[in-house]
Structure 1
């Protein structure tokens, strides 16, 4: 889950806690956001100011709104909140105690609280029992209802945005999981095909090694007496292997090898090696009835031979790769 999504969910929970009067829980949630608020830092500070105001902590509320104004100098709620706190602390505004069923009443002798609902500011505190709602301008029924409706709409939009982001995260997770499942299934299919190829071509006279993407076949003895002149044993081995590969849906790379000639090149491919690959591919194709297009012919570097003995390197090696 992204930091932005975690922040918005925590803000939503903090607002709910504040509305139900659980101000300690609201502050605890806001404390957890101080280092990760990111672009929502203004909303975190504004809600923190409102909660401090409800608790009667006017200095703390004023500091939070001041911080909001540093980020957004034209923020109307922060400006109104600070003006209301200034009037209360200067003794120029009468207040009354807050008593709402189901909400925490913050009132004590000589303590004044500022409660914000949406963008409206309501000043409250200790006064006579005869105080009325009409004595506080921002607490007029029409204004308060409009502010509540605006806050509900804003909360609905925010919840919709959080839900959309959560849905996007879930879609991304599902796509990643599906891609991983496809990769796992493809790897399992490839492994099974490589295992089948290894078992099918294994026979005396060969060393067969299954690798990550293909199967390597190496002949244990030299196939050629000299140049591209294949020996009878070499011919028999190639044709027997061709029969085993008949019907396999594979690509076959035939790599010719050659022994470096004294005084000649010791690196790079050679015409002799490529000729041996061509002769070996012909015997493989004839032994298994394979089309010549099944084979790719290459010459190995003369320094890259499969055996230490020179006579054994008069040979070819195969790389068998599953098609598809």
Structure 2
């Protein structure tokens, strides 16, 4: 089955405020990582800002969430809407190609479904363990990375041995492979945590990822770095350059000290700005493109410290890659 080409005309890309788009995507990711896919979709569908709801970044995340639920038609529809605005978007094209393989017929389609199912099990076992922040489905929105989507499972079949006992299935093979991959990923994370440990940092390995928190005040006020915060970010960026490959995923979550009378959940624009500032510092120190870093606002309830000054900070989550 060949996926129909996207519309030839390019629809104008919505001009919703970038910060509002980023904040909505961040909130939806956090809900998804907590296992609340339906809640994540509700966040993306909030009616207050229609321009945000039709932004390609929002549509792409909505497509990935639908794909994760097995709603492939809805996923494909969202990716087509992305291509109507960004005809060359690699993530949308990859997503549509994957949907076509999963829903096609013939030997090539069967092979594609088996590979997609195996990839989905691997992704869920490693990513869910890695993202204690709530685990999704996705760790970021790297537009160049194809995200595996879950295919409908198939019943066990007799392997033809004639003894009536079911033979090995693709699902059991994938489960074994997933266990090995999760163990390897966890070992990579523990090793990276040892390499990143340093003064002023709290480094922990959780599942297949490493979380770095700063035990010194990072921002003096608003999004202005303290000298010590700038120094710690530069040191971490240099360590990332030395100990991680280009395929490692790095997500930066900004935090803000709780303010009386302010909302206690949902993230904040200030926290997102802090994440963007930290991403700029890490990008320069690691000599990696800024687009290699995913940024977002942490929920106020997820402050890393009890001290308000220390919560003027960011946390950095790194998922190392074996490749």
Q: TM-score range by the shorter chain?
A: 0.3 to 0.5
TM-score after normalising by structure 2: 0.46
Higher RCO (C-alpha 8 Å, min separation 6): 2
Higher-helix-fraction structure: 1
